[in-house]
Amino acid sequence: MSFVLDDATLALTGDTLLIRGCGRTDFQGGDPRAMFDSVRRRLFSLPENCLLYPGHDYRGLTVTSVREEQQFNPRLGGEVALEDFSGYMNHLGLPHPKLMEIAVPANLVCGRPNVPDAALRDPDWAPLTMTFAGIWEVQPHWLEENLHTVQIIDVRDTEEFSGPLGHIPGALLVPLDKLAEHTAEFSTDRPIVTVCRSGVRSAQASVLLAKQGFSRVANLAGGMLRWRASRFLVEGGAE
């Protein structure tokens, strides 16, 4: 998609028309014929002095114009015909960008997290927030007030659990690499809050538990670092 100002003096061309190039059409449902028509019939119908700003350029260039691309774009400018363009684009022979199998499905659903619909419903057991990565998080102040209503699973290593940061009172130590072996020990009657040093490992733990069928799981935002910064009670640890 491209976006054009009302006075047609500027257009944002995204990943379609680039500076002396164009976006690829060999993945993500691309179609060289549709791109050719989009550029030649739509974008090239804008005034010649219309400035074009593409979504990216690997050489550090930022802007071109309709006149420049009509004259100098080797793929779409000049007397290039549809057959020329289609043949070129269909035989690029380039490897697909990394993580394309993840990015394409996410793009097709506007980045909606790849989690079951049920997991996207607002939880009723705590005021949770969902991160951009699709992880439910609970804030330290809520957990401090509701320690006895949840199961706290600390997924750090043993040395960290008894180290300087200490651990939350009542927390159960289950290192992340052992988590799958201990899920049968967790109750399904109480929500689970996963904890680690910063919230990264425990975010992964919350995803693993959700896949194991635990529907009420959240990650402690900021982990023990934020818990200690809030001066909440800990067991062990350093002053």
Q: Which residues are catalytic?
A: 196
- Residues near 36 by Cβ (< 8 Å), separated by ≥ 6? 76, 82, 85, 86
Residue 161 φ/ψ, nearest 5 degrees: -60, -40
d(CA 16, CA 97): 17
- Residues 233, 176: contact at Cβ < 8 Å? no
d(CA 23, CA 6): 25
Bridge partner residues of 137 (DSSP): 129, 219
What value does the CA radius of gyration of the chain take, rounded to a whole number of Å? Answer: 26
